[in-house]
C-alpha cells in the first residue's frame, strides 16, 4: 500500500495537542519571570511531573499491560536515569554533598537533556495514540481522545516550561527546547497516520513506561533541590499543589471522557 500525505482531519488533532503543549510551556516559562513567583513555579512544576507520572501514565499503563509490568517499566526508567546520573552524566549535580550552589549558572543544570528526551518521547507517543484513534474508532472517541490529550497537556506544558527555564540560561533557549519537545506530538501524529494501520498502538506502552520513570526521577530530584534552597515547608506546599493539580486533571479527564 503506497504512502500518501495524511488527511487534514487526521493531522489536525495532533496539531491541536501540540499547540496546547507549546502554549502551556510558554506560560510556564513566563511564570518563572514573575517577581517572587519563580521559585514557586519550579517546585509546582516538579510536583506536576510527579503527578503526571503517578496519576496519568502509570494507571494508563496498568490498564493496558497490568500493574506488575507497568511498575517494572517505571522502575527501569527511574533506575536508568539513576545509573546515568552516577556513571555517565550528572543529571542532578546538586545531589552531591560537595556541590557548590553559588557556582551554578542555572538552578537545575543537568535536568534539561533528560527532561527534553522524556517529554519528547511522551509527546511522540501521545501524537501516535491520537492519530491511530482517528483511523478506526467511532466518531465520539475520535473527538474525545484528542480533547483528553490536549487537556492533560496544559499542566504538562507548564511543568516542562517551568523546569526547562530553571535548567537553561535563557527564556529563549527554554522556549526553543520546549517547542522541539512538544513538536514531537505532531511528528508522532504524522507517523501514526502513516504507520498506525500496520503497527497498531500496543507497542507504545513499553517506552511510555520508561518515560514515566524518567519524569518521576526528574520531579523528585527537582523537589529535593528546592528543599535544599527554600526549606521543606515552602517546597512541599507548592510541589504538593502541583501533584494534586495534575492528579485531578488526569483522573478527571479520564472519568469525563470514559
Enumerate the domain spans of the chain: 8-257
- The string of DSSP codes covering the chain is ----PPPHHHHHHHHHHHHHHHHHHHHHHHHTTSTTTHHHHHHHHHHHHHHHIIIIIHHHHHHHH-HHHHHHHHHHHHHHHHHHHHHT--S-GGGSTT--GGG-SSTTTT-HHHHHHHHHHHHHHHHHHHHHHHHHS-HHHHHHHHHHHHHHHHHHHHHHHHHHHTTSS-HHHHHHHHHHHHHHHHHHHHHHHHHHHHH-SGGGHHHHHHHHHHHHHHHHHHHHHHHHHH-HHHHHHHHHHHHHHHHHHHHHHHHHH-
Give pLDDT tens digits along the chain (258 positions). 444 444 555 788 899 999 999 999 999 999 888 766 767 888 899 999 999 999 988 988 898 899 999 999 999 999 998 898 888 776 655 554 444 444 444 567 678 888 999 999 999 999 988 888 777 655 656 676 777 788 888 888 999 999 999 889 899 999 999 999 999 999 999 998 888 777 876 788 889 889 999 999 989 988 988 888 778 888 889 999 999 988 888 777 767 666
Closest to 245 (Cα-Cα) out of 40, 39, 108, 18: 40
Cβ 221 vs Cβ 107: under 8 Å: no
Axis crossing angle, helix 205-230 with helix 232-257, rounded to the nearest 10: 150
Which pLDDT score is estimated for 185?
95
Amino acid at each position: 500500500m503506497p504512502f500518501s500525505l495524511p488527511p487534514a482531519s487526521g493531522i489536525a488533532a495532533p496539531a491541536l495537542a501540540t499547540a496546547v503543549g507549546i502554549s502551556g510551556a510558554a506560560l510556564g516559562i513566563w511564570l518563572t519571570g514573575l517577581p517572587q513567583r519563580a521559585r514557586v513555579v519550579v517546585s509546582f512544576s516538579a510536583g506536576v511531573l510527579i503527578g503526571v507520572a503517578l496519576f496519568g501514565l502509570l494507571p494508563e499503563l496498568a490498564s493496558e499491560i497490568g500493574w506488575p509490568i507497568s511498575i517494572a517499566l517505571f522502575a527501569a526508567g527511574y533506575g536508568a536515569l539513576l545509573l546515568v546520573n552516577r556513571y555517565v552524566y550528572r543529571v542532578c549535580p546538586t545531589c552531591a554533598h560537595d556541590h557548590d550552589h553559588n557556582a551554578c549558572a542555572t538552578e537545575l543544570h543537568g535536568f534539561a537533556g533528560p527532561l527534553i528526551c522524556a517529554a519528547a518521547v511522551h509527546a511522540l507517543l501521545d501524537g501516535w495514540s491520537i492519530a491511530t484513534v482517528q483511523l478506526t474508532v467511532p466518531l465520539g472517541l475520535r473527538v474525545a481522545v484528542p480533547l483528553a490529550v490536549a487537556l492533560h497537556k496544559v499542566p504538562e506544558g507548564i511543568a516542562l516550561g517551568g523546569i526547562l527555564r530553571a535548567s537553561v540560561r535563557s527564556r529563549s533557549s527554554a522556549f526553543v527546547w520546549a517547542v522541539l519537545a512538544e513538536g514531537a506530538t505532531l511528528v508522532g501524529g504524522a507517523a501514526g497516520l502513516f504507520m498506525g494501520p500496520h503497527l497498531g498502538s500496543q507497542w507504545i506502552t513499553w517506552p511510555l513506561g520508561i518515560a514515566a520513570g524518567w519524569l518521576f526521577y526528574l520531579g523528585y530530584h527537582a523537589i529535593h533541590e528546592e528543599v535544599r534552597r527554600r526549606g521543606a515547608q515552602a517546597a512541599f506546599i507548592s510541589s504538593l499543589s502541583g501533584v494534586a493539580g495534575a492528579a485531578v486533571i488526569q483522573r478527571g479527564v479520564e472519568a469525563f471522557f470514559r
